[in-house]
Amino acid sequence: MSWTKKILRVNLTEGRIEEEPLNMEWAAQYIGQRGLATRYMFEETDPGCDPLGPGNRLIFATGPLTGTMASTGGRYSVITKSPLTGAIACSNSGGFIGAELKSAGWDMIIFEGKSPGPVYLNIVNEHAELVGADDLWGKSVWETDRLIHERTGDPQTRIAAVGRSAEAGCLYAAVINDLHRAAGRSGVGTVMASKNLKAVAVRGTRGVGNIKDPARFLRSTTEQKKVLAENAVTGQGLPAMGTQVLMNVINEIGALPTNNMQEVQFKDANKISAEAMQEPRESDGKPNLTTNAACFGCTIACGRISTIDQGHFSVENKPEYWGNSGGLEYEAAWAMGADTGVGDLDALTYTNFVCNEDGMDPISFGATVAAAMELYEKGAITSEQTDGMELRFGSAEALVWCVQKVATGEGFGADLGLGSRKLCEKYGHPDLSMTVKGQEFPAYDPRGVQGMGLTYATSNRGACHLRSYTVASEVLGIPEKTDPLVTDGKAGLVKAFQDATAAVDSMGLCVFTTFAWTLDNMAPQLDAACEGDWDVDRLLEAGERIWNLEREYNMRAGLSGADDTLPPRLLKDAARTGPAEGKVCGLDQMLPEYYSIRGWTENGQLTDETRKRFALPA
């Protein structure tokens, strides 16, 4: 049955920890992880609550395949109401702590209230306790990880923590686990810090032994691992090049947002690409990329481990920056590179290390810096506000200065920590914020990849590529090739990706498997592991139910169809170079059809019929 059927409920206000049964009726409808935790959020929180108030919940959730031998079955998610967007937040992470939590015997941890003082939760199988963390407050993720490991004396303890940026109130602070894996988007780390919760430490030795049909599960997972190994993307491209394989590809098709999305191509893309990471540096003859790495149970191993020039940006006294931490992935390299105009690979790697060490979403960070640079060049921000630092596009020095300021929340770092939307509003140019629902764009310009424009506009957690990765179809031809420059058919494509991805996220698998797998590959694995009859139709129905429940939560939180839009720049200013030259995003052509096939009103509201069809809670 794969679920442990147990929840750990932690009342931080009262310091009370209780075990309770998992609602299996809900699990049958919402699978687990993203879907099931959203159902708990809907039941237990007022959607209008203050995201940083005690009424918000913070949920660490696993899926039914987390911790099993299914390839990539190491995922977990952090679900809460976002302080960045005011919408539902679900941030997915890999590494090892998700599997460790499942092995300790828990499907989910629900945190409620706020601790009177700093604490961390320590779990060893069925035993859980809150431990004072006054001495950890004010320390980075990496320092916190080291100190908790010293206390437990067990190197196998897995730790998720927040850094100084979350404590300082950065609205896009992340929860970092295993030093460099992140539940990175939407400010879930900010919520964690607001509850005075510094870390979660887990040691589990129980394993996941309650598989429904072990022999069939073994056969199915073995077959599907072979599919991943034989696929060109999951078996070759991602292990060798990581997600950074996309840098030059997306630049060539004219969809690489540059200089705060003013341009669609970056002249120095080749300097910060996967290929550049493997080339020897002139300074020491060593490449940026040290090795690839895998999360728990993953047979793809797309992770990067990097080192940088030891003298770069005066990091001689910080040897921890030189290795043993994650290297650049595509989204981070784009946000801190092309979007800010910085083509210095070592500077980007250093900045990414700081984001890991102090717990910041590198996408929102880089995009916010890009907005600040445009504000600076327009004169809306002056050197007086930035302590003399010139925030100009292409300045690696400015980028590094910014990340250090946001890490501690000092001076102008507090403004940068607001995120792009609030920063641009504060300085009088809201139109310069490249966001949807307050969340910064990922690395695909919707003028060059039209489906991503609809994806961003309708995403339930604000601009996000991982809710509907139409790039797979529009650029890579997976599962079939569609033209990235046309709007026809994109409404149905986006809906299909959204529903399927919701199911994948809820099972506890990595979305990268979908470069090789469809739900036809996943359903047999889930069916062999879990009670009930799980087939593709049931998974798609669950995915669509999850999407509609997230939408309903957001509508009750105060969002509306008016939030399903893009910045004016992308709707009015045509791309100036590349294959998309002369094009804007045709959102107005795609959105009405999308609402129709979703079964929503013309204004993007759920109808009573749709609510009834998916048995959504009243």
Domain boundaries, the chain: 6-203, 242-252+258-433, 448-613
What is the pLDDT at residue 73?
Answer: 96
Q: In 10 A of CB 342, how many CB atoms?
A: 29
What is the pLDDT at residue 309?
Answer: 80
Q: How distant is the alpha carbon of residue 544 from its chain centre?
A: 20
Average pLDDT of 478-491?
A: 97
pLDDT per position as a tens digit, 315-329: 555 555 545 568 999
**pLDDT over 60 at 616, yes or no:** yes
pLDDT per position as a tens digit, 544-581: 999 999 999 999 999 999 999 999 999 999 999 999 99
What is the pLDDT at residue 283?
Answer: 83
**pLDDT over 70 at 314, yes or no:** no
pLDDT per position as a tens digit, 383-397: 999 999 999 999 999
Supply the DSSP string of 457-524, one letter for each residue: HH-BTBS-STT--THHHHTT-SSS---TT--TTHHHHHHHHHHHHHHHHHHT--GGGGGT--HHHHHH
**pLDDT over 70 at 5, yes or no:** yes
* Pick from 606, 566, 348, 548: nearest CA to 439: 566
Composition of the chain by helix, strand, coil, percent to 5: 45, 15, 45
The residue type of 201 is: A
Average pLDDT of 299-317?
A: 79
Whole-number Å distance between alpha carbons of 512 and 579: 27
**pLDDT over 90 at 304, yes or no:** yes
Q: What is the CATH number of domain 6-203?
A: 3.60.9.10
pLDDT per position as a tens digit, 237-274: 999 999 999 999 999 999 999 999 999 999 999 999 99
What is the pLDDT at residue 215?
Answer: 96
The SS3 assignment for 119 reads strand
pLDDT per position as a tens digit, 358-381: 999 999 999 999 999 999 999 999
* pTM score of the predicted model: 0.97
**pLDDT over 90 at 51, yes or no:** yes
Q: 113 with 53: CB under 8 angstroms?
A: no
Q: In the Cβ-directed half-sphere of 525, how many Cα atoms lie within 13 Å?
A: 27
- Identify the sign of the CA torsion 159, 240, 505, 251: positive
What is the pLDDT at residue 282?
Answer: 86
- Confidence tier at 1 by pLDDT (50, 70, 90): low
Q: Which fold has domain 448-613?
A: 1.10.599
- Confidence tier at 311 by pLDDT (50, 70, 90): confident
Q: Which residues contact 389 (CB under 8 A, 6 or more apart)?
A: 383, 397, 398, 401, 412
Buried b (16+ CB within 10 A) or exposed e, 283-300: eeeeebbbebbbbbbbbb
Supply the DSSP string of 168-213, one letter for each residue: TT-TTB-EEETTTEEE-STTHHHHHHHTTEEEEEEE--S-----SS
Buried b (16+ CB within 10 A) or exposed e, 411-445: ebbebbbbbbbbbbeebebbebbbbbbbbbbbbbb
**pLDDT over 90 at 307, yes or no:** no
Q: Which residues contact 514 (CB under 8 A, 6 or more apart)?
A: 469, 472, 478, 500, 501, 504
Q: What is the mean pLDDT of the chain?
A: 96
Whole-number Å distance between alpha carbons of 557 and 535: 33
Q: In 10 A of CB 48, how many CB atoms?
A: 11
Q: 17 with 112: CB under 8 angstroms?
A: no
Q: Which fold has domain 242-252+258-433?
A: 1.10.569
CB neighbour class for 618 (10 Å; exposed up to 12, middle 13-18, buried from 19) = exposed
- Confidence tier at 42 by pLDDT (50, 70, 90): very high
Q: 68 with 576: CB under 8 angstroms?
A: no
Whole-number Å distance between alpha carbons of 77 and 160: 12
